[in-house]
């Protein structure tokens, strides 16, 4: 076949087995930790931490091996193309992951809550609860004997007079700004301007850290001042699951960009004329994906 290249096949490795085991431990720990919220069970969170450590170590050695193989010239155009497809499918799987949570939010707001308020053919208010108001955010529960905490305030838009004190707005400004800075880094990388590339990428990493700090402050405000917790009924669970998983992805994407910055500054990778830019490009794709998810969160969780 014209243009065919020999496809580099790496040596046998146990790293995929380690990754699968790490993912199993991580998922079991995460599920146990979420289900144990408010019960005082501390074992699950240590399983979660152990799973994170295993996964982090596995990915470190795996990616290190891939970088070394590339620097040794063992890969090819065909292999690099497979990296592109692999990253594209990975981002698609993340799209489906968040689609499940957005779908749950849509179902609750569009169907479940109105049904509890007596709307539609499946309305249950007349049979179960009287005087229940089907409004969102749901700051009341129809079951007065419920185990759920009742938040006294939501994280929604507080009004134009308090807009500048609204943390989600500043989160949005920071994250959208980081999307611009990572694009500027990409432009300078393609132009072989390494110094400007390092500066713009460093700003992006700093903005990622700043975003995580703002979200931690927002969570403190929710717990300490609004009474909004993960146990605050369906509103609390959907809010923290969506924003929490997004925050985790921000940390993951920021870590990926930080690794690219470290490779560039301390190891002089991404040299002009070398086809080794895809590591950064993949991280930047992921970062833009994280930004798009946040825009949807800002619209459907905070605004509407």
Could you tell me which residues come within 8 angstroms of residue 149 by beta carbon, excluding any fewer than 6 positions away? 227, 229, 231, 232, 233, 236
Residues 30 and 85 in one domain: no
Residues 80 and 69 in one domain: no
Q: What CA–CA distance (Å, rounded) separates 254 from 207?
A: 9
Domain assignment present for residue 5? The answer is no
pLDDT tens track for 116-162: 777 766 555 555 566 677 788 887 766 655 666 778 888 888 888 88
Domain assignment present for residue 127? The answer is yes
Domain assignment present for residue 160? The answer is yes
% of the chain exceeding 90 in pLDDT: 51
Residues 227 and 183 in one domain: yes
pLDDT in the model for residue 4: 59
Residues 86 and 45 in one domain: no
pLDDT tens track for 183-216: 999 999 988 899 999 999 999 999 999 999 999 9
Domain assignment present for residue 4? The answer is no
Pair 147, 129: CB distance under 8 Å: no
Q: Which domain holds residue 172?
A: 75-303
% of the chain exceeding 70 in pLDDT: 88
3-class SS at 246?
A: helix
Residues 139 and 115 in one domain: yes
Query: Which 8-state DSSP code applies to residue 165?
Result: G
Residues 115 and 231 in one domain: yes
Residues 67 and 79 in one domain: no
Last residue of a domain, one of 74, 92, 113: 74
pLDDT at 3 over 60: no
Last residue of a domain, one of 54, 74, 94: 74
**Residue position matching structure tokens 């199993």:** 24
Domain assignment present for residue 6? The answer is no
Residues 151 and 258 in one domain: yes
Residues 146 and 30 in one domain: no
Q: What CA–CA distance (Å, rounded) separates 294 from 177?
A: 13
Report in angstroms the alpha-carbon separations of 262 from 60, 145, 213.
14, 54, 22
Q: What CA–CA distance (Å, rounded) separates 213 from 52?
A: 20
pLDDT top residue among 188 and 278: 188
pLDDT in the model for residue 203: 97
Q: Please state which of the ranges 4-13, 274-283, 292-301 shows the lowest mean pLDDT.
A: 4-13
Alpha helices in the chain (DSSP H): 15-35, 43-71, 77-107, 113-116, 167-190, 194-221, 233-267, 278-297
Mean pLDDT, the chain, whole residue set: 86
- Across the range 84-102, mean pLDDT stands at 95
Q: What CA–CA distance (Å, rounded) separates 103 from 118?
A: 22
pLDDT top residue among 32 and 296: 296
Domain assignment present for residue 56? The answer is yes
Q: Among 266, 270, 252, 272, which residue's Cα sits nearest to residue 205?
A: 252
Residues 98 and 178 in one domain: yes
Number of domains in the chain: 2
Q: What CA–CA distance (Å, rounded) separates 54 from 22?
A: 5
Residues 62 and 95 in one domain: no
pLDDT in the model for residue 1: 47
Domain assignment present for residue 156? The answer is yes
Residues 220 and 105 in one domain: yes
Q: Please state which of the ranges 76-85, 197-206, 259-268 shows the lowest mean pLDDT.
A: 76-85
pLDDT top residue among 88 and 143: 88
Region of residue 258 (phi > 0: left; psi between -120 and 50: alpha; otherwise: beta): alpha
Alpha helices in 36-118 (DSSP H): 43-71, 77-107, 113-116
pLDDT in the model for residue 80: 81
């Amino acid at each position: 076949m014209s243009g065919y290249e020999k496809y580099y096949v790496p040596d046998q490795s146990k790293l995929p087995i380690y990754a699968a085991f790490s993912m199993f431990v991580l998922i079991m720990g995460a599920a146990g930790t979420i289900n144990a919220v408010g019960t005082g069970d501390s074992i699950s969170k240590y399983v979660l931490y152990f799973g994170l450590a295993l996964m982090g170590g596995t990915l470190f050695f795996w990616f290190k091996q891939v970088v070394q193989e590339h620097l040794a010239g063992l890969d090819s155009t065909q292999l690099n193309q497979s990296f592109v497809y692999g990253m594209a499918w990975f981002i698609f799987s993340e799209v489906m992951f968040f689609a499940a949570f957005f779908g749950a939010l849509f179902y609750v707001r569009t169907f479940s809550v109105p049904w509890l308020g007596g709307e539609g053919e499946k309305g249950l208010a007349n049979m179960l609860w009287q005087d229940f108001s089907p409004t969102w955010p749901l700051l009341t529960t129809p079951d007065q004997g419920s185990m759920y905490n009742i938040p006294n305030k939501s994280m929604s838009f507080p009004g134009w007079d308090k807009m500048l004190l609204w943390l989600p707005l500043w989160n949005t400004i920071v994250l959208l700004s980081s999307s611009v800075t990572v694009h500027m880094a990409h432009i300078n990388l393609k132009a072989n301007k390494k110094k400007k590339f390092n500066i713009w990428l460093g700003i992006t990493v700093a903005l990622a850290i700043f975003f995580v700090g703002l979200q931690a402050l927002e969570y403190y405000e929710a717990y300490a001042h609004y009474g909004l917790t993960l146990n605050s009924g369906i509103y609390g669970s959907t809010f923290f699951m969506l924003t929490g998983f997004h925050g985790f992805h921000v940390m993951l994407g920021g870590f990926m960009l930080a690794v690219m910055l470290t490779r560039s500054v301390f190891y002089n990778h991404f040299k002009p004329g070398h086809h080794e830019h895809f590591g950064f490009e993949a991280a930047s794709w992921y970062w833009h994906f994280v930004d798009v998810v946040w825009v949807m969160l800002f619209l459907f969780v905070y605004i509407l």
